[in-house]
Amino acid sequence: MKRGLFIALALVLFLALVPGVFAQKVTVWCWDPNFNVYAMKQAADVYNKTHPNVQIDIVDMAQDIEAKVSAGLQAGGAGLPDIALFQDFRIEQFLHDYPDAFVDLKAAGVDYSKFAAYKVGPMQVGSKIYGIPFDTGSTGLWLRTDYLKAAGLNPDSYAGKNLKWSDVVKFGVTVKAKTGKPLLAWQSDNFDMLRIVVQSTGGQFFKPDGSLNLRSDAFKKSISLFKDLNDKGLLYSVVGWSDWINAINSDQSAGFLNAIWMVGTVKSRPQNAGKYMIIPTPLIEGVSGAANASNNGGSSWYVFSSSSNKAAAVDFLKSVWATSTPDTLAFYNTILKGAGAMGTFLPSQSGSNYTARDEFFYKSQPVFKDFATWMAKVPVLKYTPNYVPMRTAVANAVQNYFQGKLSSVDDTIAAAEAEYKQVMGE
């Protein structure tokens, strides 16, 4: 009797394990449950329709994902997942320092002509391309039409126009004079706004040989622009993310220069309804290659070579994120509406949510359509492996310049170069 029970138990356990043996597991690391985790989940659902045996496990990793990944890579791949999300500005450092850590997806058959060019740039090393581009940080100039009107300006005269920064400074001064509001909220400890402007000029921070390119015309003009904005009182300085959100949602500034993903934040405050208008990123004059478009942020998915389920991981990314089928196009459409996540897969941009008008914005501007249009024009910026120390050095120098500790643009550039050399040990 006991023996029979034992055999029955063993059989049940064995049978329970059998499907487990055949199910494949793909682990994904990413952050932000409302954005990336949500998008990945939608993708997993689409994949499971045709591949029910593949279990896609999404882990929400929060802040220290990059430190964890570098520790895992140092350990030769121990403890790493199959797929991970990387911010675009950091991936070049990883690709350069851990050359064999990622799977070449171009060789696996992904068609990169279907993705926005500026997203593919950072993930390409030689003839190999490593990631699947995900969200765009297509930028625009966000303006509060109520403050424009209060300053006696007509918002419609700016709607959809490709302005130059000199035009923007002009009406910014008017707004400040009539309403007292600075035109732009500005994160003083953050490099991003400066980079948005530099990227819009098509400028690069590094020369092709890897040395600093801070003495370029594009960079000097960008710093001068912000100094000018600062001197005219058109910048409202904040420190850190929550200060930034607080400033915008408590009406401290008449607008800001930032990316599409601010949509969620702006919409979270009901009083913003009907007030915001987004126009193309302004142009820096006198620099060839400048465009009325730029990018801030954005990440992409990468597959680790150390993964035990490489084939399944690659197939999942390729078939859901990089292939056009009615299901995948519907997926891209859903995540746009559900999380404000605009992918960079060009065929998906004809989706209904991409072209819909959004009543939350001034005159029901179809904001996603605009961002998608601008996205196609974003100049390619090569971040290079040494982007992180460079941006810290530049952000520090610019902060000192604005606080009066440095007296000119050339001094600022020299200070940035000096700090960069110190940190890099050159």
Q: By CB under 8 A, is residue 54 in contact with other proteins?
A: no
248-267 positions binding other proteins, by CB under 8 A: 250, 252
Q: How far is the CB of 411 from other proteins (least distance, A)?
A: 14
The amino acid present at 31, given as its one-letter code, is W
Residues 6+ apart with CB under 8 A from 379: 118, 199, 200, 201, 202, 289, 291, 293, 294
Q: What's the closest the beta carbon of residue 189 comes to other proteins, in angstroms?
A: 5
Residues 91-110, mask of contacts with other proteins (x by CB under 8 A): --xx-xxxxxx---------
70 contributes a contact to other proteins by CB under 8 A = yes
Amino acid at 252: Q
Task: Tell me if 203 sits within 8 A of 219, measured CB to CB.
Answer: yes
Judged by CB under 8 A, does residue 240 bind other proteins?
yes
Spatial distance between the Cα atoms of 330 and 228, rounded to a whole number of angstroms: 45
Instruction: Specify the residue, 124 or 305, whose C-beta has the smaller distance to other proteins.
Output: 305
3-state secondary structure of 52: coil
Give the SS3 label for residue 233: coil
Residue ranges in 232-351 assigned as alpha helix (H) = 241-249, 263-267, 310-316, 326-339
Nearer to other proteins, 64 or 156 (CB): 64
**Nearest approach, Cβ of residue 320 and other proteins (Å):** 30
61 binds other proteins (CB under 8 A): no
CB of 400 to other proteins, least distance (A): 6
* Minimum gap (Å) between residue 70 Cβ and other proteins: 5
What does the DSSP 8-state code read for residue 135? B
Distance CA 354, CA 22 (A): 39
- 388: helix, coil or strand? helix
Residue 103: CB minimum distance to other proteins, A? 16
Please list every residue from 188 through 227 that binds other proteins, using CB under 8 A: 188-189
Q: Which is nearer to other proteins, 331 or 420 (CB)?
A: 420
Does 73 engage in binding with other proteins (CB under 8 A)?
Answer: yes
Backbone conformation region of residue 290, classed left if phi is above 0, alpha if psi is from -120 to 50, else beta: beta
d(CA 64, CA 86): 12
Q: Which tokens hold the place of 210?
A: 């890897």
Indicate which single residue of 82, 370, 417, 419 sits in contact with other proteins (rule: CB under 8 A).
Answer: 419
In the complex, what is the shortest distance from the CB of residue 255 to other proteins, in angstroms, rounded to a whole number?
A: 17
Q: Which of residues 107-136 bind other proteins (CB under 8 A)?
A: none
Candidate list 166, 246, 355, 364; residue touching other proteins; CB under 8 A: 246
Identified binder of other proteins from the candidate list 45, 60, 104, 243, rule CB under 8 A:
243
Binding pattern for the stretch 376-405 against other proteins, x by CB under 8 A and - elsewhere: ------------xx--x--xxx-xx--x--
Residue 384 CB, shortest distance to other proteins, in Å, is 13
- Sheet with 255-259, side-by-side order of all strands: 255-259, 139-144, 276-280
Q: Which of 412, 180, 365 is nearest to 260 (CA)?
A: 365
Q: Based on the shown chain and the rule CB under 8 A, indicate whether residue 156 belongs to the binding site for other proteins.
A: no
For the CB of residue 404, give the shortest distance to other proteins in the complex, in Å. Answer: 12
- Give the binding range for other proteins (CB under 8 A) out of 211-219, 246-254, 282-290, 364-372: 246-254
Two tokens, residue 24? 């494949």
Name the burial class of residue 13, with classes exposed (0-12), middle (13-18) and buried (19+) by CB atoms within 10 angstroms of its CB: exposed
| H or E stretch covering 73 | helix 65-74
Give the number of other Cβ atoms within 10 Å of residue 35's Cβ.
Answer: 20
Which chain residues interact with other proteins by CB under 8 A? 66-67, 70-71, 73-74, 93-94, 96-101, 188-189, 237-240, 242-243, 246-247, 250, 252, 388-389, 392, 395-397, 399-400, 403, 419, 422-425
